[in-house]
């Protein structure tokens, strides 16, 4: 992925959020938000994301599958989550683990059959759990029938299902292509004497949404799944579906300049994006009681409302990248500063995004997924001393913020980065092709591999850790990707028995969120914003206030919140005993302590 692509997501525009009331007593007396809550199931949902390839293998081929997920539905139900988002399970040659779909209406052979899918959906619904499918419609696989046809001749009706640059116009204007060994988004196709566009690998040609026939074909496919009863879609890079099809030259200046929106406008978020989404809503989404969430790659606080304001009739939620990309150094691949990230800035990011959806639209909260390193390694501390505490602290954050939480399977165990030493251990096209790109350009691949230990996607894709038996109980065969050796201590079997485990803490936090509507709909107010160690905030609804205190550091910390806390009831604390609050003294927190209080 080219530097600009990453950099544009990373750089925070300057902003000033004024949280004038940083003292708790002023919070308590501040006017209560008169919300018209507009309660919906998807605002109250707790979404559990499953990467099917890595969850549970039922037949010993080393690859997780639908039957494997079905065999673990009671585990999932028992967590208390209310919805499951499955990464793509459609037929795919797996250049990008299912994000290259060759048939939208068939199940990937490795994952099972349509009958397995129907059983999965039925069994989830029986347990009161919704199913959210991944919708990958910016691109298909190059093995999709449409592309196989379209690439044969310019007169083939499927040619116009994709974007082409005729070779007689010369070489196409440069576009960065993620996952491309040469870093380019154009690949030459001999039979048509033209280049096709692929924002991801050359095995993932971009669909041409300008073609109404293509749009209709996609909508029909969506109805196929909705008519089966699925409860919604997570829409992969949906902001990319409309492009400026003149393909203007993106000058080095635009490529290199700091984020100002222009680059992403040229590249994605094209002129018809919202028209297409409204059409999708009108013709498909509005006919069903479902939820939709956009993967908001390149979406800013300025553009986000266009996707999710309810009166625009497009989508319900989106997830932004300002949080997960926070703290990366500028460069052509993701790299963290040795001293980590600055908490004050992180608080600003989440507070700014909360304010965007305060009155309109609805947000999401996540700290990890299949594209990110493990939450505890990235945002907490995966050393043996702090892994459990910091992981619980992060779980507290996700489940006490406003916005629908998306929780990535394995994080409830405190699973951590595997940190591969050698390129041969990686399976992810992103890492492998970036490695090749760097090598071809004489760059320092050793430094890249070091950075990948912290940032690579494969860190989150290692098999789910069920028990202490061979391969963590994930498979009886050879797993498609190595199991994290820490499975001997980090696994469901051990954690289920330990009342103080990450797993049991996650369940308690879910219960807490379900019991307190304040945690779902309540106004969010940041406190003590300059505190470098502690993230504290309140959630307030109808006169009820919940105070959340999170120490993001391995040191004791103190907040600058002074208040008479005689009425504070500690609802949960990640240390065994509740946090002691002394009257009129700054609240002291232990390393990575998380504590939640009800204030009245
Ligand atoms: O990710 C889109 C995206 O923006 C990625 O480039 C992401 O930023 C990157 O993986 C982070 O390292 C989506 C999917 O979530 C991802 O798994 C797919 O590979 C990609 O689209 C292509 O479909
Ligand atoms: Ca299998």
Residue 30 CB neighbour total at 10 angstroms: 15
**Whether residue 336 is found in the same domain as residue 433:** no
Of 520, 553, 579, the one marking the end of a domain is 520
Q: Give the CA count within 13 Å in the CB-facing half-sphere of 223.
A: 13
**Whether residue 109 is found in the same domain as residue 151:** no
**Whether residue 225 is found in the same domain as residue 239:** yes
**Whether residue 152 is found in the same domain as residue 25:** no
The number of domains in the chain is 4
In this structure, which residue's CA is closest to atom 6 in ligand 1? 178
* Ligand positioned closest to the Cα atom of 476: 2
Q: Which long-range contacts (CB under 8 A, 24 or more apart) does 72-76 make?
A: 73/123, 73/124, 73/127, 73/129, 74/127, 75/492, 76/48, 76/127, 76/129
Residue in 134, 236, 325, 411 annotated catalytic: 236
**DSSP E strand boundaries for 559-599:** 569-573, 588-589, 594-598
Residue 151's domain comprises 145-197
Annotated catalytic, 168? no
Cα 52 to ligand 2 centre (Å): 10
Q: What is the separation of C-alpha 186 from the centre of its chain, rounded to a whole number of angstroms?
A: 27
* Ligand positioned closest to the Cα atom of 61: 2
Q: 557 Cβ partners below 8 Å, 6+ apart?
A: 531, 533, 534, 551, 588, 589, 591
Q: Which of 99, 142, 241 to mutate to test the pocket of ligand 1 (most atoms within 8 A of CB)?
A: 99
pLDDT at 24: 39
**Whether residue 218 is found in the same domain as residue 308:** yes
Residue 497 CB neighbour total at 10 angstroms: 10
Cα 62 to ligand 1 centre (Å): 24
**Whether residue 389 is found in the same domain as residue 508:** yes
Of 520, 548, 574, the one marking the end of a domain is 520
pLDDT at 257: 57
Annotated catalytic, 295? yes
pLDDT at 250: 78
Of 459, 486, 520, the one marking the end of a domain is 520
The per-residue pLDDT for range 201-255, each reduced to its tens digit, is 999 999 999 999 999 999 999 999 999 999 999 999 999 999 999 998 877 677 6
Cα 371 to ligand 1 centre (Å): 6
Measured CA to CA, the distance from residue 593 to residue 591 in angstroms comes to 5
- pTM of the entire predicted model: 0.93
**Whether residue 173 is found in the same domain as residue 28:** no
**Whether residue 55 is found in the same domain as residue 119:** yes
Nearest to 452 by CA among 434, 437, 464: 434
Q: Which residues of the chain have pLDDT under 70?
A: 1-37, 252, 255-265, 563-565
Question: Residue 243 domain-assigned?
Answer: yes
Which atom belonging to ligand 1 lies closest to the Cα atom of 139? 23
Residue in 295, 382, 573, 593 annotated catalytic: 295
Helix and strand counts by DSSP (H, E) for the chain: 20, 20
Query: Which residue ranges have their beta carbon within 6 Å of ligand 1?
Result: 96, 99, 136, 178, 200, 236-237, 295, 297, 370-371, 430, 457
CATH of residue 570:
2.60.40.1180
The per-residue pLDDT for range 34-85, each reduced to its tens digit, is 334 489 999 999 999 999 999 999 999 999 999 999 999 999 999 999 999 9
The per-residue pLDDT for range 457-489, each reduced to its tens digit, is 999 999 999 999 999 999 999 999 999 999 999
**Whether residue 300 is found in the same domain as residue 193:** no
The per-residue pLDDT for range 481-527, each reduced to its tens digit, is 999 999 999 999 999 999 999 999 999 999 999 999 999 999 999 99
Cα 72 to ligand 2 centre (Å): 14
Instruction: Report which DSSP code applies to 575.
Output: S
CATH of residue 178:
3.90.400.10
């Amino acid at each position: 992925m080219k530097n600009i692509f990453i950099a544009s997501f990373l750089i925070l525009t300057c902003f000033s959020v004024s949280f004038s009331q940083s003292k708790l007593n002023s919070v308590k007396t501040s006017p209560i938000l008169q919300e018209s809550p507009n309660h919906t199931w998807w605002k109250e949902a707790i979404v559990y994301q499953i990467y099917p390839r890595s969850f549970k293998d039922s037949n010993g081929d080393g690859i997780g599958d639908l039957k494997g997920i079905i065999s673990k539905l009671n585990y999932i139900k028992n967590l208390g989550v209310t919805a499951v988002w499955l990464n793509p399970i459609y037929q795919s040659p797996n250049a990008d683990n299912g994000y290259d779909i060759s048939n939208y209406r068939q199940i990937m052979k490795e994952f099972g059959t349509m009958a397995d899918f129907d059983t999965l959906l039925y069994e989830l619904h029986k347990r009161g759990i919704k199913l959210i499918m991944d919708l990958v419609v910016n691109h298909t696989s190059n093995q999709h029938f449409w592309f196989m046809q379209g690439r044969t001749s310019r007169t083939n009706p499927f040619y116009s299902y994709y974007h082409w640059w005729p070779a007689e116009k010369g070489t196409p204007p440069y576009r960065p292509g993620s996952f491309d060994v040469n870093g380019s988004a154009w690949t030459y196709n001999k039979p048509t004497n033209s280049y096709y566009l692929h924002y991801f690998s050359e095995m993932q040609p971009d669909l041409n949404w300008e073609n109404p026939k293509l749009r209709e074909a996609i909508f029909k496919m969506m109805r196929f799944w909705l008519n089966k009863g699925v409860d919604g879609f997570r829409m992969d890079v949906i902001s990319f579906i409309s492009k400026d099809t003149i393909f203007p030259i993106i000058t080095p200046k635009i490529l290199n300049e700091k984020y100002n929106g222009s680059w992403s406008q040229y590249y994605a978020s094209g002129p018809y994006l919202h028209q297409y989404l409204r059409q999708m809503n009108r013709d498909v989404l509005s006919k069903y009681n479902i939820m939709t969430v956009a993967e908001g790659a390149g979406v800013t606080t300025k553009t986000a409302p266009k996707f999710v304001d309810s009166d625009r009739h497009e989508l319900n939620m989106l997830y932004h990248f300002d949080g997960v990309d926070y703290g990366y150094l500028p460069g052509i691949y993701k790299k963290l500063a040795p001293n980590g990230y600055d908490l004050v800035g992180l608080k600003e990011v989440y507070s700014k995004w909360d304010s965007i959806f305060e009155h309109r639209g609805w947000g999401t909260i996540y700290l990890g997924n299949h594209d990110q390193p493990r939450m505890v390694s990235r945002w907490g501390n995966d050393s043996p001393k702090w892994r459990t505490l910091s992981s619980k602290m992060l779980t507290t954050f996700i489940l006490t913020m406003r916005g629908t939480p998306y929780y990535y399977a394995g994080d409830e165990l405190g699973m951590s980065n595997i940190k591969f030493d050698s390129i041969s251990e990686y399976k992810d096209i992103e890492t492998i092709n970036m490695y090749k790109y760097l090598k071809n350009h004489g760059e320092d691949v050793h430094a890249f591999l070091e950075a990948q230990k912290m940032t690579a996607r494969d860190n989150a894709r290692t098999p789910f850790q069920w028990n202490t038996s061979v391969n963590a109980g994930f498979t009886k065969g050879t797993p498609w990707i190595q199991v994290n050796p820490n499975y001997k201590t980090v696994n469901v079997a051990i954690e289920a028995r330990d009342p103080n485990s990450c797993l049991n803490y996650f369940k308690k936090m879910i219960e807490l969120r379900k019991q307190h509507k304040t945690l779902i709909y309540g106004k969010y107010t940041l406190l003590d914003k300059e505190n470098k160690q502690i993230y504290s905030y309140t959630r307030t609804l109808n006169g009820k206030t919940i105070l959340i205190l999170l120490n993001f550091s391995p040191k004791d910390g103190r907040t600058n919140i002074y208040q008479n806390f005689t009425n504070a009831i500690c609802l949960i604390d990640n240390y065994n005993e509740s946090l002691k609050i002394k009257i009129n003294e700054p609240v002291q927190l232990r390393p990575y302590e998380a504590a939640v209080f009800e204030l009245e």
